[in-house]
Amino acid sequence: MLRTTIALCAAAAFLALAAGAAADPTPVPIDSEATVGGIDVGCTGIGESKLDPKWQAYPVRVEFSDANNDYLANEVLTVRSASGAELLTVACEGPWILLKLPTGSYSVIGRVPGTSAQPRTATFRPPSHGQMRVVLKFPDL
């Protein structure tokens, strides 16, 4: 009986860890666009290329910054639907990740791998027109 209980507890702990872990990120190269999980994604935010008008076509711009409001790069972003379903996880070398999401409610979880920074989250609804900024600030960097 004790062995069965220990085995069940270990299995439950493993499943909980697996469910909470984000999928391996899909890399989106700097100043490029990709479609990940059916969602258009852009990666930019450095130099003059961030001024390219094509970036304005994305309704959501997620920005990563540190305690001094300086941009951070080499981040990972996970996007979830309102129901909690993971839609995509991407890695970007620039500080902006742009998203073309359908109407609805979403949450994002931003991480800066290789640092001790705690993940940051935000919830939002994409605008029907224009572009919104979602700033994930990492005060511990």
pLDDT at 22: 54
pTM over the 0.85 mark: no
Over residues 75-125, the pLDDT tens digits come to 999 999 999 999 999 999 999 999 999 999 999 999 999 999 999 999 999
Q: Where are the domains of the chain?
A: 25-138
CA–CA distance, 121 with 77 (Å, rounded to integer): 10
Strands 26-28, 86-92: pairing kind: parallel
Q: 25-138 adopts what CATH topology?
A: Immunoglobulin-like (2.60.40)
pLDDT, average across residues 17-30: 72
